[in-house]
Amino acid sequence: ILLDEEGHIKLTDFGLSKESIDHEKKAYSFCGTVEYMAPEVVNRQGHSHSADWWSYGVLMFEMLTGSLPFQGKDRKETMTLILKAKLGMPQFLSSEAQGLLRSLFKRNPTNRLGSGIDGAEELKRHPFFSTIDWNKLYRREISPPFKPAVSQPEDTYYFDTEFTSRTPKDSPGIPPSAGAHQLFRGFSFVAPPSGGEDRPSSTSPSLSVPKMLNKNVAFTDVYTLRESIGVGSYSVCKRCVHKGTNMEYAVKIINKSKKDPSEEIEILRRYGQHPNIIALKDVYEEGNSVYLVTDLMRGGELLDRILRQKFFSEREACAVLFTMCKTVEYLHSQGVVHRDLKPSNILYVDESGNPESIRICDFGFAKQLRAENGLLMTPCYTANFVAPEVI
């Protein structure tokens, strides 16, 4: 079960699937992952589509509790538990969840929920799913609870490095026949834009630097470091130049021994496409340092602009605050709290002073809400700008 870039699920790997299975015609293959096998698969007495609903129950139990319902020290013991063990139902589960699990864990497949004439409709009608609009879900009109942090179509962040680290091998096709060109008469092809080039941007055009996931590539192999442009509690920000394109960027260098950057990276990767949030271009890891490459904010900090002008008129302040309010509203709607909003973390893309060119930066203290009560317990802040409940 995989997630697409929007967080919608896709069912994959049909290598062990079987067609034309019903109550009359059964399959007798012993296949699958033991912990998810239905009793009728384990005892090899023949199984129908009801076996999938047992596996569905195992999946549900694992998602709700973090453990498998039947798991022994080896395959033989696990199969014995599936056939004979009494399942202890965790009491922290809701009565609806417990009821659905008990209906799915029926060892007699004919008594199992979903095995009747109505099939999956029996599950859909269960009280556990009472809040689900199945038609909207099918049309992908319900926002997924989790959206993966994917920044561009070629992103392989979630792929297993065991495979992405391998050297690619060419697999040439069969040479075309002499008349093969006739097949493509009148055919033309234009490669689609990559790296998000087709997405509109309010910033000046810039070349999207491909993301390097190869740990053998060092940051200094791709970029040249220049002068420092900012210093924080756990990091330093410098100007850098991409060697291949001569484009200028900013790089935030974080000391991993002082600060775990994983939350900041995930937030920037997931929400950096917003027009008023700084865009993360690249991530490198070398020893004890992590390099976050972003757009270079040539307009400087809001703090510097305030100090230069000595004061903002209400009209200017209103325009800036309106842009910030829209951006913070977006972050909050996605369950993200910045926790360090201050003038030095609000930067301009250019010297125009246009409020729409504002970018919220430095998500080092930002957090994605995960607790049921929505509260954050980690005290992170800049003293003069902190809310009382954080202290």
Q: Give residue-wise pLDDT tens across range 218-258.
A: 899 999 999 998 887 788 999 999 999 999 999 999 998 88
Does 96 have pLDDT greater than 80? yes
Looking at the DSSP bridge assignments, the partners of residue 231 are 236
Q: How many CB atoms within 10 Å of residue 267?
A: 22
pTM of the predicted model over 0.95:
no
Give the CA angle between residues 363, 152, 284 to the nearest 5°: 55
- pLDDT-based confidence at residue 370 (cuts at 50, 70, 90): low
pLDDT of residue 188: 53
pLDDT of residue 376: 45
Tell me which of 163 and 181 has the higher pLDDT: 163
The predicted-structure confidence for 77-93, as pLDDT tens digits, reads as follows 999 999 998 888 989 99
Does 129 have pLDDT greater than 90? yes
Sign of CA dihedral 159, 164, 170, 171: negative
Looking at the DSSP bridge assignments, the partners of residue 252 are 237, 292
pLDDT of residue 204: 34
What average pLDDT is seen over the chain?
Answer: 81
- pLDDT-based confidence at residue 205 (cuts at 50, 70, 90): very low
pLDDT of residue 133: 94
Does 195 have pLDDT greater than 50? no
pLDDT of residue 245: 92
> Is residue 14 a contact partner of residue 84, using CB atoms and an 8 Å limit?
no
pLDDT of residue 203: 36
The predicted-structure confidence for 12-65, as pLDDT tens digits, reads as follows 988 888 776 665 677 777 777 889 999 998 888 888 888 899 999 999 999 999
Sign of CA dihedral 57, 59, 60, 65: positive
The predicted-structure confidence for 314-352, as pLDDT tens digits, reads as follows 888 899 999 999 999 999 888 899 988 888 889 999 988
In the chain, what percentage of residues exceed pLDDT 70?
Answer: 80
Binding residues: 252
Over residues 92-104, the mean pLDDT reads: 94
- pLDDT-based confidence at residue 102 (cuts at 50, 70, 90): very high
Q: Tokens 């192999």 — which residue? A: 221
Does 178 have pLDDT greater than 50? yes
Q: Which of 98, 96, 101 is nearest to 130 (CA)?
A: 96
Does 377 have pLDDT greater than 60? no
Domain annotation for the chain: domains and CATH numbers: 2-138 (1.10.510.10), 219-295 (3.30.200.20), 300-385 (1.10.510.10)
pLDDT of residue 151: 62
Tell me which of 158 and 130 has the higher pLDDT: 130
CA distance 17 to 14: 5
> Is residue 277 a contact partner of residue 360, using CB atoms and an 8 Å limit?
yes
Amino acid found at 90: P
Does 198 have pLDDT greater than 70? no
pLDDT of residue 121: 93
pLDDT of residue 329: 92
pLDDT of residue 185: 57
Binding residues for ATP: 252
